[in-house]
Amino acid sequence: MTHNLTIRDDDYPELEAVAAIQRGLHSYNQERGGPYDREPVTVLARDEDEVVKGGLLGLTYWNWLFIDWLWLAQDQRGKGLGTELLARAEAVARARGCTDAYTDTFSFHAPHFWTRNGWVEAGRLDGMPPGHARIWYRKKL
């Protein structure tokens, strides 16, 4: 293929290069799928000293909630806090008109948590990482 472009690896791209790729893909996505007004969803659990002990980070767009990160400090696990964070994020998404939600996680990240909260497996990559799986879940809101 002939073109007038230089192609090379870049282990440390400048922010403007990364932003150009993001802007280009967001623009293309909106041309094809319609405007998506991405809005962050952040739900935090703090202790009495305002130290973050857990939280959920996600986005809403195209009537979907995407949960990118859900984390709890080790001493906060198994107390129902994850379910509370998830329920709060789902409520935020519903208030924004979302009808569906999705996330991905690993098999060593308590996949039963998701199914217990009404999510269903939508895809899986076995062997990622070796000996485990990456799992996608979805839920009708």
Identify any residues that bridge with 27 across adjacent strands, giving them in sequence order: none
**Residue pLDDT, tens place only, 101-118:** 999 999 999 899 999 999
CATH classification code of 39-140: 3.40.630.30
Q: What pTM was computed for the model?
A: 0.87
**Residue pLDDT, tens place only, 58-89:** 999 999 999 999 999 999 999 999 999 999 99
The sheet with strand 120-126 has its strands ordered as 39-46, 52-61, 64-72, 100-106, 133-140, 120-126
Cβ density class 106-131: b for 16+ within 10 Å, e for less: eeeebbebbeeeebeeeeeeeeeeee
End-to-end Cα distance, the chain? 47
Identify the three-state secondary structure at position 65: strand
**Residue pLDDT, tens place only, 4-55:** 888 899 999 999 999 999 999 989 999 999 988 899 999 999 999 999 999 9
Residue 31's pLDDT is 93
DSSP state of 84: H
Confidence tier at 1 by pLDDT (50, 70, 90): low
Q: State which amino acid sits at residue 62.
A: W
Kindly report the number of other CB atoms within 10 A of residue 135's CB atom: 21
